[in-house]
Amino acid sequence: MLRSLTGIRRMSKLSTVIKELEAFAPTVFAEKWDNVGLLIEPYRKEGAEEHTVNRILLTNDLTEPVMKEAIEKQAELIISYHPPIFKPLTKITQNHWKERVVSACLANSIALYSPHTAWDKVVGGVNDWLAKVLVMKSIKPLVQEVGALPGNGSGRLVETNVPIGQLINRLQEHIENCVHVAYAVGHTGSTVIHTVGICAGSGASLLRDVQADLIITGEMSHHELLDFQHRGTTVLLCNHSNSERGFLREFQPKLNIMLDGSCQIFVSEKDKDPLVTLTRTSAAGDAPVATQQTN
């Protein structure tokens, strides 16, 4: 299903796209508390043809600016890493942004699919993308997925050999954003680390009992940071979605191959982390200024 000589693409059925997404990362991998898979299917009359997909928008979060972008790009399917429908909706009105997003999908016949923790666990998924910042001697899941092939599971534990300062620089380049550092007691930028625990997003609960020189995750609480510091583990925080978003650029060409080039696939230009890091200028009394930040 490649482009024809006239440049016209053949569309894919929604079920075909979902089948490929499931083949890449089965939703049975997702955590029990998660809400993944096809969340919105456009209405069709009885006997009507199945919803077809020509344009797909990839996003980390389906916010209202991203929803507007999807409509402007005439997407028939949004793949949102985080499920915008998580807790059950009791109504769909215009009073809350999540309800408006759902309403807009229905009004514009846009399907919505969310993979979330299924993408975290699968080989070649979000955590493996985040681990690419390291020169790895070995890599394995922190928790192996039951019944799955080796390599599929929650988080990652990596053996490496790199100074903390060098890793910080590489991580900032990899996520194209700022990194927050909590040095372990006795660690400095020149300390060489050999084991790294990784969990994209909010990883403190998964990483709590991991014995590692350093961990990389998106966010954690103040007291969790103190506990890691005093256990001899340096922590690198990327902000929650900045530890995940870059995977979409890697997944875009992969999905194109999976679908034999039958769909146009866009990575959202409006999707961004809600937090912006500000730094103070050197002059006393100057107002904080935003650091350079790319999302």
Q: Tell me if 260 is assigned to a ligand binding site.
A: no
Closest CA to 78 of 55, 98, 99, 95: 55
80 CA to centre of own chain: 9
Q: Tell me if 240 is assigned to a ligand binding site.
A: yes
Q: Tell me if 222 is assigned to a ligand binding site.
A: no
Pairing relationship of beta strands 264-267 and 55-59 according to DSSP bridges: parallel
Cα angle 74, 266, 26; round to 5: 105
Instruction: Evaluate whether 239 touches 60 at the Cβ level (below 8 Å).
Output: no
Instruction: Evaluate whether 23 touches 45 at the Cβ level (below 8 Å).
Output: no
Q: How far apart are the C-alpha atoms of 161 and 151, rounded to whole Å?
A: 21
In which order are the strands placed within the sheet that holds 77-80? 37-40, 111-114, 77-80, 55-59, 264-267
Q: Tell me if 72 is assigned to a ligand binding site.
A: no
Tell me the binding residues.
82, 120, 240, 244
Tell me the binding residues for a divalent metal cation.
82, 120, 240, 244
